[in-house]
Amino acid sequence: MIVRNFLLIMVATLCFSILFNIKGKNIFFAALGGGITWIFYSCSLSTFNVDIYSIFIASIAAGIYSEIMARVLKSPVTVFIICSIIPLVPGVAMYNTMLETVQGNVTTSVNLGIHTLAIAGTIAIGIFVITSSFRLSALINKKINLKKSL
């Protein structure tokens, strides 16, 4: 089941990278990022059973993968990170919010809306943490090199 979903998500992310006009070997690595994020998401979801935690873990995995790949393949981080977070975006929560709003169930729709915002915020925080720490380590490296050259 997980292997099938992994392959399907990889195909879907591959198609997304075509929609974003990525070319060459970056397509494959962007798609792999989507698959890896999905694996982290579904494994932690079956362990913790709380979707916000799982999304946080998965977005951290997506961030680390993208930052490493950007350095290895000498491409902008955006190329990989956009495709990696595609499996996490709160499509289901958004749809349910919309449906409840249309049917006039205000309380449920507000609950679901806050949940949707929480998911989006969690993805943001996960990437935020990783990008900031990679920037910090780059700055520290620069300082060490500067001291060595003196």
Partner 1 sequence: MDINRIIHIAANAGRIILENGGETYRAEETINRICSSYDLIDSESFVTPSIIIVSASSNFGQTISIIKRINYRTINLEKIAQINNLSRNIKGLGYSLEAIETQLAKIDSIKPYSLKYMVIASAVAAGCFTIVLGGDLKDMIVSALAGGMMKLILYYLYSLKANEFFVNIFGGFTATLISLICINLNLATNLDKVIIGSLTLLVPGLAITNAIRDTIAGDLISGIMRAVEAFLIAIAVAVGSGIVFKLWFSIFGGLNI
| Residues that bind partner 1 in the complex, under the rule CB under 8 A | 5, 8-9, 11-13, 15-16, 18-24, 26, 74-79, 81-82, 85-87, 89, 91-92, 94-99, 101-103, 120, 123-124, 127-128, 131-132, 135
Q: How far apart are CA 2 and CA 23, in angstroms?
A: 28
The owner of tokens 């397509």 is: 27
CB of 122 to partner 1, least distance (A): 12
Residue placing its CB nearer to partner 1 in the complex, 76 or 144: 76
Least separation in angstroms between CB 117 and partner 1: 9
A 10 A CB-CB count for 134 gives 18
User: Could you tell me the two tokens for 125?
Assistant: 């925080």
Q: Are 127 and 58 in contact (CB under 8 A)?
A: no
Q: How far is the CB of 144 from partner 1 (least distance, A)?
A: 21
DSSP 3-24: HHHHHHHHHHHHHHHHHTT--T
CB of 42 to partner 1, least distance (A): 10
